[in-house]
Chain A
Amino acid sequence: EVQLVESGGGLVQPGGSLRLSCLGSGFTFSRHGMHWVRQAPGKALEFVSAVTNNGASAYYADSVKGRFTISRSNSKSTLYLQMSSLRPEDTAVYFCVRWDNAMDVWGQGTTVTVSS
Chain B
Amino acid sequence: EIVMTQSPATLSVSPGEGATLSCRASQSISSKLAWYRQKPGQAPRLLIYGASTRATAIPARFSGSGSGTEFTLTITSLQSEDFAVYYCQQYDNWPLTFGGGTKVEIK
Contacts and interface: CB of A to CB of B under 8 A. Distances in A.
A59 B97 CA distance: 12
A40 B34 CA distance: 21
A47 B87 contact: no
Contacts, number: 57
Nearest to A108: B43
Nearest to B43: A106
Given A44-B101, A61-B95, A104 B43 contact: no
A62 B34 CA distance: 21
Nearest to B6: A44
A89 to B, nearest CB: 16
Contacts of B46: 102-104
Contact of B36 (A62, A103, A109): A103
A47 B99 contact: no
Interface string B49-80: 11001011000000000000000000000000
B55 A46 contact: no
Residue in A45, A46, A106 whose Cβ sees the most chain B Cβ within 10 Å: A45
A104 B55 contact: yes
Determine chain B's interface SS by DSSP, over half rule: loop
> What bracket does the count of chain A residues touching chain B fall in?
10 to 19
B1 to A, nearest CB: 7
Nearest to B49: A102
Contact of A103 (B34, B42, B95): B34
A95 interface: yes
Nearest to A107: B43
Interface string A85-116: 00000000001000001111011110000000
Contacts of A47: 89, 95-98
Interface of A: 35, 44-47, 50, 59-62, 95, 101-104, 106-109
Interface of B: 1, 34, 36, 38, 42-46, 49-50, 53, 55-56, 87, 89, 91, 94-101
22 contacts: A45-B44, A45-B89, A46-B98, A47-B89, A47-B95, A47-B96, A59-B95, A59-B96, A60-B95, A62-B95, A95-B43, A101-B50, A101-B53, A102-B49, A102-B91, A103-B36, A104-B46, A106-B43, A106-B45, A107-B43, A108-B43, A109-B43
